[in-house]
Chain A
Amino acid sequence: MRARTFNCMGTVVSLTLPSTSGADELVAATAVVEQLFAGLDEAFSLYRPDSEASRIARAEIMLPDASEDMRRLYADAAGWRLVTEGAFTPERPDGVLDLSGIVKGHAIQEAGTSLLALGLRDWCLNAGGDVLVHGSPVPASAGDGTTESGSPAPGSGQPWRAGIVDPADRRTLIAGYPLGGPPGAKLALATSGSAERGDHIWTAGAGRGSGSVAGGGRAAPAFRQVSVAAADIVTADVLATAIVAGGLPMLDRATDGWEIEVLAARTGGELLATPGFRR
């Protein structure tokens, strides 16, 4: 495999291609991904005083007058708030519009679309622990005559093997999950929690017990870390965040309502998992 990394959105993004790919191919692809991430960060970062998001937060721009990207992402986030019954929300408890819960997933998704548009079928994109893949690390195409361009069938070889860090000891893994490979396999894995960045997720009042969603109160989170595997990275990312915020009731709603696999580590260390995470 060949990998390249760059810094963006306060984290590190890694792009990995199979060894069979050319070095310049990786350089070019990384440049495209980096540019896309940088563009979104420039508009959406609340850490940049001059960003569009910061200007909206200061009420210098009203949302209806914001850029099309901003309004579209807000609409997406508001839609997710609806279907997660408030567990995922595009607003901070103080009312400031905060799309950071969805912008990274969106960036990964857009980057994936760009990689496919570049003709790359086998790749793994990891942005600070959220992963989207396509194809296989060992494309089966080598001896099949489906090697070069043309045949759109992604390498139906082995999946990319993702490891999930143990929130209690980040040098070790608590689980693995195969992404990509055979057609129909899940391609995205997102993880949310309070392990690395402090309590950046605002729990929805009903962290345990009742399914109702109260206002922006902070209950002790039921889960320390939640990983969600899905067909796409935005769904995986949003639902992982929603489950950390909404606790057990949201976990059940998510597994009932979406085609996902979930591995959730309770604050006490116990694991909850859907069948896809069983060995």
Chain B
Amino acid sequence: MENTGSAAASTSAGTTVTAGAAGSSGSSSSSSGTSAGSTTGSTGSGATGTGSGAAAEPTTGAAAKAGGTYAGSVVQTRFGAVQVQITVKAGAITDVEALQLTDDDRKSIQISNRAAPLLKAEVLAAQSADVQTIGGATVTSDAYLSSLQAAIDAANL
């Protein structure tokens, strides 16, 4: 359900979420409410690997050590164009900022394109009398004779 593009944002969001969970203590199933107050610090910081740093343009190693701000190249993803900028201080990345993050309409559609559990009644339905062709794991020549596709073909031969 989540997307790599939002990785940077989740750093700060993480703290907020943790605070919320602590407040509602009893409702959370995994952390069971006991030590909710004390764990806040560690949860917030642990999550970030800043995977987006990889996109930054490696100007030179020396320049990076000196520090500064570096804009990565624009990368085309299937969600649209993405560009990030990193801030380096004393040889370490201290900040990652998205300069360009896909246009919102497409993103919101595409990010939800993961497969989710569905009841049979929620799937696009079809009756064999109402379709023109049948998809399925490969049918052997022998099995074809008794298949739905054979019935459809026979009706049109």
Residues of A within 8 A of B (CB): 1-5, 7, 10-12, 14, 16, 104, 124, 126, 128-131, 133, 137, 160-165, 167, 170-177, 189-197, 225, 227, 251-252, 255-259, 262-264, 270-275, 277-279
Contact = CB atoms under 8 A, between A and B. Distances in A.
Contact of B116 (A129, A174, A272, A279): A272
Contacts of B149: 12, 14, 126, 129
A175 B125 CA distance: 5
A97 B156 CA distance: 39
Contacts of A162: 126, 131-135
Nearest to B152: A3
Contacts of B156: 1-3, 16
**Most chain A beta-carbon contacts within 10 A, residue among B114, B119, B128, B130:** B114
Interface of B: 3, 78, 112-120, 122-128, 130-141, 143-144, 147-150, 152-153, 156-157
Given A3-B152, A16-B133, A278 B144 contact: no
Contact of B144 (A11, A124, A195, A264): A11
B114 A252 contact: yes
B157 A3 contact: yes
Given A126-B133, A131-B135, A165-B136, A173 B148 contact: yes
Given A130-B135, A196-B140, A251-B115, 16 more contacts: A1-B156, A10-B138, A124-B132, A128-B140, A162-B133, A164-B134, A165-B137, A170-B147, A171-B148, A175-B124, A176-B126, A176-B130, A195-B137, A255-B115, A273-B116, A277-B123
B124 A264 contact: no
Given A162-B132, A165-B134, A271 B117 contact: yes
**Most chain A beta-carbon contacts within 10 A, residue among B3, B119, B131, B157:** B131
24 contacts: A5-B157, A12-B144, A12-B150, A14-B152, A16-B156, A126-B149, A129-B149, A137-B132, A163-B134, A163-B135, A165-B147, A173-B126, A173-B134, A177-B135, A191-B137, A192-B137, A255-B113, A258-B78, A271-B123, A272-B118, A273-B118, A275-B112, A277-B123, A278-B118
Is chain A's binding surface mostly helix, strand, loop or mixed? strand
A11 B126 contact: no
Contacts of B128: 163, 172-173
B124 A279 contact: yes
Contacts of B114: 252, 255-256, 274
Contacts of B124: 175-177, 277-279
B14 to A, nearest CB: 21
A197 B126 contact: no
B111 to A, nearest CB: 9
Given A3-B157, A12-B141, A129-B139, A176 B131 contact: yes
A164 B135 contact: yes
Nearest to A138: B132
Contact of A193 (B126, B127, B137, B144): B137
A161 B131 CA distance: 5
A270 B118 CA distance: 8
Contacts of A189: 135
B157 to A, nearest CB: 6
B45 to A, nearest CB: 24
A173 B135 CA distance: 9
A196 B137 contact: yes
